[in-house]
Each structure stands twice: as structure tokens, then as C-alpha cells.
Structure 1
Amino acid sequence: MDDKHEPVLTVGGSDSELDKRLTEELTAFNIAATGADDQEEFSIRVTDADGELVAGLTAWTWGGLCGIDMLWVREDSRRDRWGSKVLLAAEAEARRRGCDRVAVSSFTFQAPDFYQRHGYAETGRTLGFPGGNADVHMYKSLATTGN
């Protein structure tokens, strides 16, 4: 058997080129499977007077669903409700893009209670994270809520 025609499996560290290619391939597959060709990312940034990051959010919309990837607020600004302000801004942007629902996940040591206070319902958990923690999956319908 000729070994030079066999695929080669390699294991390595972070690979932005591979990440880009997999995103392109899976996006094409997802569009073909669903017919929804409207996937877009968006972000929200809050900076202080010095231009330092206070809070931020990254998310995407696709086929009427908004998926929140990350939401973070600097520790000294958490009592100023920046998390709520950023989340509400993301929900408003999702509505503007035609979304009627939002999905997010948060580790049990992060902010599931925060999302639940904002009307998100737990839909499941992935167990086995360090320290006995879980990833809590949540969902919120925007169709019936004004916040």
C-alpha cells in the first residue's frame, strides 16, 4: 500500500487558519441543511473615559435566533448594572435583526442566576466541568417580552 496518499492526522495548539476553514465549511453545510443564510455576528462594547473596557458582549444571529457567546463586566463596574444594560442592548439588536428568541450558556460559577432574573429559562446542563461545575443552557423568547 502506498503511504503517501493516506491522510495525515496531526494534533496541535490553537490554529486560526483551521478555525476559519471549519467555520466556512460548517456555515455552508448549515445553510444547505436549513435554508437560512442570514448568519451575522455582532458585539457590544462599553468603555470608560480612559478608553478602558468596562463591559462587552459578543453574539450572533441566524434564522431568528440570537446566540450570546460571551458577556463580561469589569468587577468594579458590576454594581452599576452594566451587565443588564449590555444584555438589554443585545436583545434589542437581536429584535432589530428579526430574532424572536435568544440562547446562552453560563457555567454554574458564572451568571446563570443573572440570566434567569432577565427571563431566561434553563433548558439543560452539560456536566463535568472543573470543580464539579456545569454549563447551564438557557433560552428566552423575545416574542412575548418587552425587556
Structure 2
Amino acid sequence: MNSDQGSGPTLTVGERDTDLNQRLSEGLDAFNAAATGVAEQGTLSVKVTDEAGELIGGLAGWTWGGLCGVSLLWVREDSRKDGWGSRILRAAEEEALRRGCDRMVVSSFTFQAPGFYQRHGYKETGRTLGIPGGHEDVHFFKSLSGRQG
């Protein structure tokens, strides 16, 4: 851990700081609410377990202002051809709709699953270059309005 200690403020650099993350999130949420007038927000999860209670896959995300963001979606390797990714994503979309969201966003590295999201109606909105191995981070958007539940 590096720190700059003097008589004034202290700058500290280190590993993930859970308390700091919480404080930053609270501060940014307050700023965003003041700027947009939208304070309601939430987290979202979808989890699939097998008969032994072991994780098959899941999704973690968030909702805010009619938008649902997918932060993480993963399915274990031996279950990737069983349709769990599609079922998990559809469940998240249905829950987003239930919560009043009409839009979804997600990003996927080119070596992960951009084709998966495209097959599910997500449209590419941009790319972040410079991912190791010559890859890119592909950003996607999907409108849920007009979707039949």
C-alpha cells in the first residue's frame, strides 16, 4: 500500500476497499439523483443451482431510472450448451420489465459472448479498445418496450 502522508489530506493506494466502495457508491448515487431527479435504484440477481446446490450460473445487475444493467453473467463450462445463459438473461429481462425498466445494457469482451447478446436482440453501441490479446469490450443496448412477456 502506498500513501502520501503529510500535514494535509492523505492519499492512499491499495487493494479493493469495501468501505470506500460503499461511500463512493452512496456519494455518486446522491449526485446522480440530484442531477436527474431519479433516486430509485436497485440490484438484481438471477441464480441457477443444480440438485446438489452447486452453482450452474447466474447474473448480477442493477436497475435505475428505467434502465437495467447486466454487470456479470456466467454459466459454468459443463452447462453452457444447456440453454442456461438464455434462460438467465430472459429471467433478468422479465424482472427488469416487472420493475418498470424498458431498456437493458451490457458489455462483453470479444473473447466472451458478444454473439450471445446479439442473438438475444442486443445492438452494439460501441467498443473499448486495448483489451489484452488484441481484444475489445463490446457495449450493447436493448429496448424492452414492445417485448411480449
1:47 Cα offset (Å)? 0.2
1:62 Cα offset (Å)? 0.5
1:119 Cα offset (Å)? 0.1
- 1:121 aligns with 123
Q: 1:85-139, CA deviations, whole angstroms, 9 ceiling, x for partnerless residues? A: 0000000000000000100000000000000000000000000111011110000
Q: TM-score, normalised by structure 2?
A: 0.94
Q: Does 1:37 align with 2:39?
A: yes
Cα-Cα RMSD: 1.0
Q: 1:59-88, CA deviations, whole angstroms, 9 ceiling, x for partnerless residues? A: 111000000000000111111100000000
Unpaired segments ≥5 residues, structure 2: 1-5
Match of 1:48 among 45, 50, 62: 50
1:37 Cα offset (Å)? 1.2
- Structure 1 runs (4+) deviating above 6 angstroms are none
Letter in 1 for 2:94: A
- 1:101 aligns with 103
- 1:91 aligns with 93
- 1:67 aligns with 69
For 2:81, what is the secondary structure of its paired residue? helix
1:145 Cα offset (Å)? 2.6
Letter in 1 for 2:108: S
- 2:3 aligns with none
1:144 Cα offset (Å)? 2.5
For 2:11, what is the secondary structure of its paired residue? coil
- 2:148 aligns with 146
Q: How many residues align?
A: 144
For 1:140, what is the secondary structure of its paired residue? strand
Letter in 2 for 1:124: G
1-structure distance, mates of 2:68, 2:48: 20
2-structure distance, mates of 1:136, 1:144: 25
Q: TM-score, normalised by structure 1?
A: 0.95
1:146 Cα offset (Å)? 2.7
